[in-house]
Structure 1
Amino acid sequence: MELIQPSETLELVHAHGNWSISQDSGFSPVQLIAASAAACSTYVFEKLLDERGIPYELKKVLFDYQLGVYYPNPVTRVDVQFFIKANARVRNEIEHVFYQIAENCPVIQSLHPRIKINESIIFD
């Protein structure tokens, strides 16, 4: 991976288009941490559900994060909400798999233990 600085913002080089990384425009590095945790959680959740043959439809994933109040204001919490459409008879199975996300997500496993990951499911 490569970072370049063609202007005042950094860009993460990618074959399908560079990502702008800046606190003023594009994604901030802190937003990328939260997005990485949410994306990894999503990939892991879907993989675990698919491996078990559990029928579901992932409608959307929303996430937010909170920073600490004292400098250097590290990420203290990432909230991830999975909006899932599923038959009532498989919801318990989905919830069982849901609790296995953190132990199978390399991004969450890489974060400092003080960063709380709050994940929830909203069934449609």
Structure 2
Amino acid sequence: MELVQTSDVLELVHENGNWLLNRELGFSPVQMVAASAAACSTYVFESMLDERGIPYEIKKVLFEYQLDVYYPNPVSKIDVQFYIKSNLNDREEIEHVFFQIAENCQVIQTLHPRVKVNASIYYL
């Protein structure tokens, strides 16, 4: 991976188009950390549901993060919300899988233990 500096913007080089790492023009590195945790959680959740043959449809995933109030203001919390469509009969098994996300997500495992990652499911 490569970072390049173009004027005021740092870019992460990607074959399908560079990612701008500047809050005003793209994503800040902190936003990318939160997005990485949410994306990894989603990949893990989907993968585990697929492995078990559980029918579902994730309609959307929302996330938000909070910074600590004290300098250097690290990320203190990431909330991930899954909006999922499923059969009523499969929900208990979906929730069983859901509670295994954090222990199977490499990004969450990489975060400092003080970073609280909370996830929730909303059934549609």
What TM-score results when the alignment is normalised by the length of structure 2? Answer: 0.98
Q: For residues 91 and 15 of structure 2, what CA distance do their matches in structure 1 show?
A: 39
- Please state whether the residue corresponding to 1:5 is helix, strand or coil: strand
RMSD of aligned alpha carbons: 0.6
Q: For residues 103 and 72 of structure 1, what CA distance do their matches in structure 2 show?
A: 27
The 5 Å alignment of 1:28-47 reads 28-47=28-47
Q: For residues 23 and 54 of structure 1, what CA distance do their matches in structure 2 show?
A: 38
Q: For residues 24 and 58 of structure 1, what CA distance do their matches in structure 2 show?
A: 30
User: Aligned residue for 1:109?
Assistant: 109
Give aligned-pair identity as a percent.
70
User: Aligned residue for 2:78?
Assistant: 78
Q: For residues 89 and 29 of structure 2, what CA distance do their matches in structure 1 show?
A: 41
Q: For residues 64 and 2 of structure 1, what CA distance do their matches in structure 2 show?
A: 27
- Please state whether the residue corresponding to 1:23 is helix, strand or coil: coil
What TM-score results when the alignment is normalised by the length of structure 1? Answer: 0.98
Q: List structure 1 segments (4+ residues) > 2 angstroms apart after TM superposition.
A: none
User: Aligned residue for 1:2?
Assistant: 2
Point out the structure with the larger strand share. 2
- Give 1:22 shift: 1.3
Residue 61, structure 1, aligned to residue 46, structure 2: no
Q: For residues 84 and 23 of structure 1, what CA distance do their matches in structure 2 show?
A: 30
User: Aligned residue for 1:119?
Assistant: 119
Q: For residues 4 and 91 of structure 2, what CA distance do their matches in structure 1 show?
A: 46
Q: What are the Cα deviations for residues 59-93 of structure 1, in whole angstroms up to 9, with x where unaligned? A: 00000000000111000000000000001000000
Residue segments in structure 2 that go unaligned for 5+ positions in a row: none
Give the letter aligned to residue 38 of structure 1: A
Q: For residues 107 and 81 of structure 1, what CA distance do their matches in structure 2 show?
A: 17
- Please state whether the residue corresponding to 1:4 is helix, strand or coil: strand
Aligned length: 124
User: Aligned residue for 1:12?
Assistant: 12
Give the letter aligned to residue 121 of structure 1: I
Residue segments in structure 1 that go unaligned for 5+ positions in a row: none
